[in-house]
Amino acid sequence: MAQEQQMQAETPTASVFAVKTTANQERSVANLIAMVARKEGYDIRSILVPEELKGYVLVESPMHEIVEHTIQNIPHAKAVVKGASSIAEVQHFLAPKPVVTGISEGDIVELISGPFKGERARVKRVDETKEEITVELSEAMVPIPVTVRGDIVRVLSKEETR
């Protein structure tokens, strides 16, 4: 315990280390790392579970050994990947991506919740700032534009670019 406190005092700058985990267990591993670090007093400054990085948890700590000690008895935490990253290298994981990314005008989408759940529609307009899309329902008798949140649609097919 005194050795860990001495390690914390010697190295004030932190690096980001990747912890390999079992697929789909990233959140539980991150929660357990946080609990162990708090209980044992380890110098773990932040924990990140990026959606795009399946099977890995990013841990910010001054030393590789601190992360090794922390994950020793955590189930589903396999190993710490050799080498460290800087905050700048993982910065792109911190900025949220707009929900409507990948949806463009003319795409065929399916509404997955709300009053029009299960309906197919064609995208007429995409508003990235509000994260909304305006669609025209395919099965409707009269084409009425409906504006919905971008997270309640699933893209079925993309429009062919000419």
- Residue ranges covered by each domain of the chain: 15-93, 107-157
CATH class of the region 107-157: mainly beta
Gap between the Cα atoms of 136 and 68, Å rounded: 54
Gap between the Cα atoms of 162 and 157, Å rounded: 15
8 A C-beta contact, residue 28 and residue 57: no
Q: What is the pLDDT of residue 160?
A: 61
| Domain over 15-93 is classified CATH 3.30.9.10 | no
Q: Is the pLDDT of residue 159 over 50?
A: yes
Whole-angstrom CA distances from 127 to 61, 82, 133, 148, 156 are: 39, 42, 6, 10, 19
Question: pTM (2 decimals)?
Answer: 0.62
